[in-house]
Chain A
Amino acid sequence: DAKTTQPPSMDCAEGRAANLPCNHSTISGNEYVYWYRQIHSQGPQYIIHGLKNNETNEMASLIITEDRKSSTLILPHATLRDTAVYYCIVTGGGNKLTFGTGTQLKVEL
């Protein structure tokens, strides 16, 4: 699975969009980009995933660059409940997900 690089922490004002970047320059053609989040000491929660097209669901949007070497998770209107560690994972859908250190997003009033 390709390695990912995320900033260790980010802050966002409540009600504003939170844009979380992820670099995955070694991604290969059959690998997907997955985003999970973990609210303090809870089990990680699936957010969204994509291959090369932008994706949107009720939680977030995923923007993948044309060369697929980076992506951005967008929470359109962040709330205090979105404070969590966000993990970007690249995998070919093999047997396991490997979690890195993620980005600690802090949403503030």
Chain B
Amino acid sequence: DSGVTQTPKHLITATGQRVTLRCSPRSGDLSVYWYQQSLDQGLQFLIQYYNGEERAKGNILERFSAQQFPDLHSELNLSSLELGDSALYFCASSVSEGAFYGYTFGSGTRLTVV
């Protein structure tokens, strides 16, 4: 157990639907990062939050949004889902705003869009 909790572990939904993925960071970590891993794209950085504020944005689609709440957990919202959104979604956390102290990753949410 890495200390980063992601729920649900698996999610199957239909095209056009909306889902929410949840991440609880390791105790004491203030930063949360979201990554998408599909078969042909590798690990792609989506977005980072630090202590409730957005800090960096990567290749995140406009249909996707995220937020970090006062208790530091984060949610990634995916809407108008397409088949190509099927992927593993990982959350990572770190104690600082940057990568210096390393990231701790969760076990991921496997999203299947049918």
Contact = CB atoms under 8 A, between A and B. Distances in A.
B101 to A, nearest CB: 9
Interface stretch (A15-23, A74-82, A94-102): A94-102
Given A96-B45, A99-B35, 10 more contacts: A34-B99, A34-B102, A41-B110, A42-B107, A46-B102, A46-B103, A95-B48, A96-B56, A98-B45, A100-B42
B37 to A, nearest CB: 9
A37 to B, nearest CB: 11
Q: How large is the interface on B (under 10, 10 to 19, 20 to 34, 35 or more residues)?
A: 20 to 34
Contact of A95 (B56, B105, B110): B56
A19 B32 CA distance: 32
Main secondary structure, interface of A, reads loop
Interface stretch (B12-20, B61-69, B76-84, B90-98): B90-98
Contacts of B33: 96-97
B108 interface: yes
Contact of B4 (A43, A95, A98): A43
A43 B106 CA distance: 6
A94 B58 CA distance: 13
Given A95-B56, A98-B45, A100-B42, A46 B99 contact: no
Contact of A46 (B35, B43, B58, B104): B104
Contacts of B43: 38, 44, 99
Contacts of A49: 102
B102 A43 contact: no
B90 A93 contact: no
Nearest to A38: B43
A45 interface: yes
B40 to A, nearest CB: 11
A80 B54 CA distance: 40
Given A96-B58, A99-B42, A100-B42, A43 B108 contact: yes
